[in-house]
Structure 1
Amino acid sequence: MFAAIISALALGISAFSAHLLARRIAHSNVYLPLALFFAANAVVQFCLIVREPLVVPGMVPYLPEITLFKLVVELTLPPLFWIYVRELTSEHSRGWRKTDIGHFVVPLLPAVILALVVTVWGAGANSPTDLTTGQRFLGCVNAILNILALMQFCVYVVFLMVRLSGYRRKLMDLFASTEDLELNWFRSALWLIVINVGLELGAEILYALYGMSNPYYPWNGLARVAAIWFFAAWGLRQRPGLRIEIAKTRDDHSVAKKYEKSALSPEQLRAVSDKIRRALELDKQYRDENLSLRALSEQIGELPNYVSQALNTDINETFFDYVNRLRVLEAMERLKSTEDTVLMIANEVGFNSRSSFYSAFKKVTGQTPTAYRLASNAN
């Protein structure tokens, strides 16, 4: 009974989230895969509720076609979330692609098996011990497909981590402050999924092979609700403005496409680099916490792709690293010569948070700002 209540709670969160996201699809198609993700999860929770009264501890699963149908839907969750992350971190909106069909080949396999078994052998039985040949076959297939689901999950976790790392590198080429733009909540979400999937698959495999009741009860149910709630809270809060902001900056590069074949000469590169150094090192434009590559390009009157080329080939630093190094250098001087608080100094040199300041400062000096100030005073 308690398991059914947990599944009902998870179903309610998923269905409500899918409804809210569906209303936003008209404004941005980035919400479509996430809305489908929550809708599919609602179906999974409904299957768990339906199956709960039919489970008899210590026996082979009754009506295993319900379990297999649940697995079919579960196998669509990783590709749906992957497509959502891909769209959210893309420079331009491309929508669904023909190649996306390939992501759903794995769920088609158990779906075909389920259809064949129901058609050829028939579904349903009169009691938990009166199993048809098809149902026995489904029980074995379910255990095998759970292992396949685990493999699929691991593959998509790798895809997501690689995608997020690449996204962060793009941000560092375009923005001086990336903390508000990074999708750090995805990493926390992935850890929640790892815990949840491990508990769920472990319980399913033990039940399918040995008829054991869930050894993780009720922790797996609580972990499932926590993961769904976390996804709902952050997924509904997330806006596609990140993609729009990157696209706005990248669009400036397309203006200069006709110049791409003729790279800047060494003299031209040095001239652009001098403008960059003058704006940042002399005019101290790095103090602007919202400084971006696009804004700097407008200030010095150069195209963004030329500024990017000069940074990468002549100055040999990313935009993010260069700007934050200058911020740290000024902060170091002020830590030695003033009594201002660390947070005050961080804000005045251009950092928009204490954590980003500490991270950049330690990267440049190998010390925290407080430790650096104490060491400087001692000397």
Structure 2
Amino acid sequence: MASLDIWKVIISSMTIAMCFLSMAIVLTKQSGRSDQERFLALFLFIYGLVKFDQLYMHTNSFEIWPHLAGIMFSLKLFLPSVMYFYTRSLTEQKEQWFKRQDTFALCAPFIAALVATPYYVLSAEQKVALMNPLTRDPVLYERAVLGCQIGLVLFVVTAFTYLGMSFKLFRAHTSRLRMLFSQIEDKQISWLRWVIIVITLAWIWYAICELWLLTGKQPGSVYLTNMVIEMFFVGFIALRGINQQPVYQESNAELDWVETASNSDKESVYSKSSLTEEARVEIAKKLLYVMDVEQLYKDSELSLRTLSDKIQVSEVRISETFSQHMKTSFFDFVNQHRVREACRLLQQTDHKIVAVAFDAGFNSRSTFGAAFKKYIKQSPSQYRKQHSANAASRGG
């Protein structure tokens, strides 16, 4: 066996061991969201089987067990959809398994299985013969290559489709966070967004390498590099997934629907609301009072649920008041008050900027800096320097 093939065997074996060990850890973990745990475990299980199939080929085991060749041909096409289901379990409030439209995920694997049917029915001797250029039947080989090409194209299309669907989930997730929490940096699951991009690109590169291999050329170290990248990112997903806590501990189904609906749908819902404009004005007064007088924004963990309990108004009605009367979100409403307080502290005290951030209700300097630039259009240090210069010129 060539040294390159030995490395392929080693990397495949390491990836398989990592997938199944991580899957076992995930299944014994109690995070409070069983859908989150089981979709991650399912992803790792399928990935482990796919890598086992690659190991089967790299070790030439098809010569010993030829009847197993091609059994897992369509299995890899489930990976993008299962990653999407895992993303959905992290970004939606309600715990759920499969929806009716999720049957779409079966289409690509089913088509791939149909395409591969002629190969499945071949005898063990015919399958072994196809692997050897000297003994293969040209007609059967061309059909097998065509089936592989169709499967790889389906895989790329599926990967891109679920990449787009995952980013739609992330956009809805960010919108929901802004309505429910005043601090969202640690709840955005940014790590998963980047991992999905990279692993999708790795999958596409894998498909290109496989198509390259089908032409009779050897991708060599390029293929090996892709295997290493895959192993690294699958390991990263497993590690972060094991440590990822549910973003949403409680669910308000009515609010969840309203905040992820389109603008036209929201208008339709709010037009049927029993909340009058006068009632919205009264709620707005209560909101401004607890911010301006009681300075509730200084609570770095302030959430819509906490605010609702404080003013004794339902979350849905507060959300409607923000959206329809105050034309803002809970996140912006709270952080504008925090930035206003930070401006006062920067002008009137010589506290360090990080101290100003915490005193104003932010839980990190980076979050504070981003919010300050968004609302004031300059950094806190620039604002303090400019204010000091203006004060000095007035004093002079």
| Distance in 1 between residues matched to 2:87 and 2:198, nearest whole Å | 17
2:279 corresponds, among 268, 279, 286, to 268
Counterpart contact for 1:25–1:32, Cα < 8 Å: no
1:352 corresponds, among 348, 363, 385, to 363
- 1:111 lines up with 2:113 in the alignment: yes
- 1:124 lines up with 2:127 in the alignment: yes
How much has 1:137 moved relative to structure 2? 1.4
Counterpart contact for 2:31–2:245, Cα < 8 Å: no
Name the structure 2 match of 1:18: 23
Name the structure 2 match of 1:326: 337
Give the aligned residue type for 1:188.
W
Counterpart contact for 2:80–2:159, Cα < 8 Å: yes
The alignment partner of 1:211 has SS state of: coil
How much has 1:219 moved relative to structure 2? 1.6
Q: TM-score, normalised by structure 2?
A: 0.85
1:30 corresponds, among 8, 27, 36, to 36
Give the aligned residue type for 2:249.
I
Name the structure 2 match of 1:210: 216
Q: TM-score, normalised by structure 1?
A: 0.89
Counterpart contact for 2:163–2:200, Cα < 8 Å: no
Give the aligned residue type for 1:112.
L
How much has 1:54 moved relative to structure 2? 3.5
Name the structure 2 match of 1:58: none
How much has 1:233 moved relative to structure 2? 0.9
Once the two structures are superposed, the pairs formed by residues 251-262 of structure 1 within 5 Å of their partners are 261-262=272-273
Give the aligned residue type for 1:185.
W
- 1:96 lines up with 2:107 in the alignment: no
How much has 1:286 moved relative to structure 2? 0.5
Query: CA offsets per residue over residues 315-355 of structure 1, 9 Å max, x none?
Result: 11100001001100110121122111111111111111111
| Distance in 2 between residues matched to 1:362 and 1:324, nearest whole Å | 12
Counterpart contact for 2:94–2:253, Cα < 8 Å: no
How much has 1:150 moved relative to structure 2? 1.0
5+ long unaligned stretches in structure 1: 56-62, 254-258
| Distance in 1 between residues matched to 2:346 and 2:301, nearest whole Å | 23
The alignment partner of 2:214 has SS state of: helix
Larger mean CA deviation between 292-301 and 93-102 belongs to 93-102
| Distance in 1 between residues matched to 2:30 and 2:146, nearest whole Å | 40
Cα RMSD after superposing both structures: 2.5
Give the aligned residue type for 1:330.
E
Name the structure 1 match of 2:166: 160
Query: CA offsets per residue over residues 190-218 of structure 1, 9 Å max, x none?
Result: 23213422331221110012333335143
Name the structure 2 match of 1:291: 302
Name the structure 1 match of 2:238: 232
Counterpart contact for 1:328–1:360, Cα < 8 Å: yes
Counterpart contact for 1:139–1:208, Cα < 8 Å: yes
Name the structure 2 match of 1:187: 193
Counterpart contact for 1:289–1:351, Cα < 8 Å: yes
| Distance in 1 between residues matched to 2:271 and 2:324, nearest whole Å | 15
How much has 1:287 moved relative to structure 2? 0.5
Name the structure 2 match of 1:366: 377
How much has 1:248 moved relative to structure 2? 8.9
| Distance in 1 between residues matched to 2:30 and 2:352, nearest whole Å | 46
| Distance in 2 between residues matched to 1:245 and 1:214, nearest whole Å | 50
- Count residues with an aligned counterpart: 364
Counterpart contact for 2:254–2:316, Cα < 8 Å: no
Name the structure 2 match of 1:47: 53
Give the aligned residue type for 2:199.
I
1:300 corresponds, among 311, 315, 328, to 311
| Distance in 2 between residues matched to 1:208 and 1:143, nearest whole Å | 8
| Distance in 2 between residues matched to 1:262 and 1:317, nearest whole Å | 18
Name the structure 1 match of 2:264: none
| Distance in 2 between residues matched to 1:181 and 1:281, nearest whole Å | 27
Counterpart contact for 2:183–2:301, Cα < 8 Å: yes
Counterpart contact for 1:33–1:80, Cα < 8 Å: yes
Name the structure 2 match of 1:256: none
Counterpart contact for 1:196–1:220, Cα < 8 Å: yes
Query: CA offsets per residue over residues 151-189 of structure 1, 9 Å max, x none?
Result: 111111110111111111001011111112211111121
Name the structure 1 match of 2:265: none
Structure 1 pair 346/268, CA: closer, same or farther in 2 (3 Å)? same
Name the structure 2 match of 1:310: 321
5+ long unaligned stretches in structure 2: 1-5, 259-269, 391-396
Name the structure 2 match of 1:87: 89
| Distance in 1 between residues matched to 2:39 and 2:24, nearest whole Å | 13
Give the aligned residue type for 2:151.
L
Query: CA offsets per residue over residues 30-85 of structure 1, 9 Å max, x none?
Result: 32222111000001111111111349xxxxxxx7984x555411100011111122
Give the aligned residue type for 1:350.
G
Larger mean CA deviation between 180-189 and 154-163 belongs to 180-189
How much has 1:3 moved relative to structure 2? 1.1
How much has 1:290 moved relative to structure 2? 0.8
Name the structure 1 match of 2:144: 138
| Distance in 2 between residues matched to 1:71 and 1:86, nearest whole Å | 26
